[in-house]
Structure formats: structure tokens, C-alpha cells
Amino acid sequence: MPDFSEKTLLRDKGVTEMRDFNGKVVVVTGAASGIGREMALAFAERGARLALADIDGDGLEGVRRELEARGNAVYTQIVDVCMAAEVEDLCASIYREMGRVDILCNNAGVAVGGWMEDVSIDDWKWQLGPNLWGVIYGCHYFYPRMIAQGGGGHIVNTASGAGLVPLPITVAYNTTKFAVVGFSETLRAEAALHGIGVSAVCPGFVATNVVSNARIVSRTQRSSPEELKQRFIRFFERRNYTPDKVAAAVVKGVERNRSVIVMGPETRLGDLSMRLSRGLVIKVMEQAVRLMKRYV
């Protein structure tokens, strides 16, 4: 009987698992802190050459010094991934400086929290910028050059467990993450023709600067935006799921050419529940919203 497993089908199309990162060029956006920083460290530990970008110049410089002190080759550039011209320039600069790109990690992101009726159009634009357009711009400029250079490669797009399971009070954030998962799975099918793997990263509740820098909107009398933010921060701190665990899963996911890298028990349970009964999950969320409305 023919083997129709994803692994076999992708191998037949020329996509190979990437086991050796030594000397490979890895691009990471949002690399100044959190998951991006840990991904840079994890790939560097495996001998990769790093090209790092972030809007936070001071944080980026700190990561560069840390990696260079370990003997890793690093290129850095301050980039706002919401700006197409800046991502295009980043791509051109990295190819000029490092010659090729083997792994592209579109990781930069922000978060908006609040009920749909409180989220403004400006909030939506701020949310969509790095989370979705940053991924689109990254792939738009890097992907064709990765095809042209030959030799395969891998694209990693940071989504979230919120891209697999609907979560109340984060409708804008969820929208971008569901979009990134769909974008990645669709591009994966096309990229296989060129020997390039594509993965969407879907961690659960991870304590990063995305939480502390989130834009929280609220027009209710029950909770001010700052009170809501502090609740989110305390929750994520108690969860204590650190970015280095995500980075380790990403490296393993690239090694095994995983399509969706799901991590964290809450995400695994939510994803499984959605697969088994989408309607039941939605009903549970509706009840959760009714409860939350009493306090938020």
C-alpha cells in the first residue's frame, strides 16, 4: 500500500528534514527579547549564523553582544516589520552581508486585549501591523530569494495557541494568529515544491514583553485598562511557561519539518477539543464570556 503520510509526501517533493544547523543563516525578527531572543540563542547554540532584527535597538544590541561573546557570527538591523520598505531593505542587507538565508523566523508581534466593542480601528491597525503584515512582508521579500538560492530551507511563523482556539477578550489578537496559521499551512503546500518547509508556532501562555507591552482597552467601570493589564501579567507570571521552552520546540520542529508546532498543555487540550467538537468549544467559550462579563 502506498505511504501517504505527510513526511513521505514532503520527502518525495524534495523537502528534507534539517538536522545540521552549523553554518546555516537564521533570520529572526522580534529578536531583542522573549521568544525571538531565545530562538536566536537556541540556533546559535547549534552553530548557526544569526541575522537579527527588532524595533528595539538597545535590546537588539544586548543580544548581539551576548552572542558575539559566545563566538557566534551576528548581523543586526533595527527594523519596523510593519513597514514594507524596511523589511525589503533588511532582506537585501542580509543577502549582501551573509549570502543566503536558510531559516526565516517571522516572530515580531504585539497584543491588543479588550472586548470587541472597545477595540478601535487604530487598535486593529496596530495589531495587524507586526502580527500579520510583518509575516506577509517577511515571506514576500525573503521567500522568492530562498527559492532562487536553492538548497531548501525553512520558514517559521510565530502564531499562538490563540491561532487554534478562540479566546474571549482577545478578538483582534486571535484574528491575526488564526490568519498566521492559515497563511503558513497554505504556503507550506506551495513551498514544498521548492524543498522549503514552513511551520506555524503555536505556544500557550508564555510570559514575554508582548504581555507587559500589550495595548489593553476597556470602557467599563469594572476594570481600568491598567487593572486589566496587571491581571494578564500576573496570570502569565503564575503560568511560568518560559520563552526558552518555545525556542527548544521551534528548533525541534524545524529539525522534523513540523507544519504546526503546538506546545503547552492548554494549547494541546484546546486544539484537541476543537478537532473533536468545535461546536462544544464555542459553547464553553460563550459561557466563559458570560462569567467574565461580571468581572471585566
- Catalytically active residues are 173
Measured CA distances, 266 to 42, 149, 169, 250, 280 (Å): 24, 39, 17, 18, 16
Distant-in-sequence contacts of 55-60, Cβ < 8 A, 24+ apart: 55/79, 55/80, 55/81, 55/108, 56/32, 58/32, 59/32, 59/33, 60/31, 60/32
Q: H or E segment at 114?
A: none
In angstroms, rounded to a whole number, what is the distance separating the alpha carbons of residues 251 and 288?
35
Helices (H), the chain: 6-12, 34-45, 57-69, 84-98, 121-128, 134-149, 171-191, 209-212, 225-239, 243-255, 265-276, 278-292
Tell me the three cell numbers of residue 98. 551573509
Overall size of the chain counted in residues: 296
Nine-digit cell string for 242: 518560559
* Three cell numbers written together for 10: 514532503
Neighbouring CB atoms inside 10 A of 63's CB total 24
Q: What are the cell numbers at 256? A: 522534523
Angle between helices 278-292 and 265-276 (to 10 degrees): 120
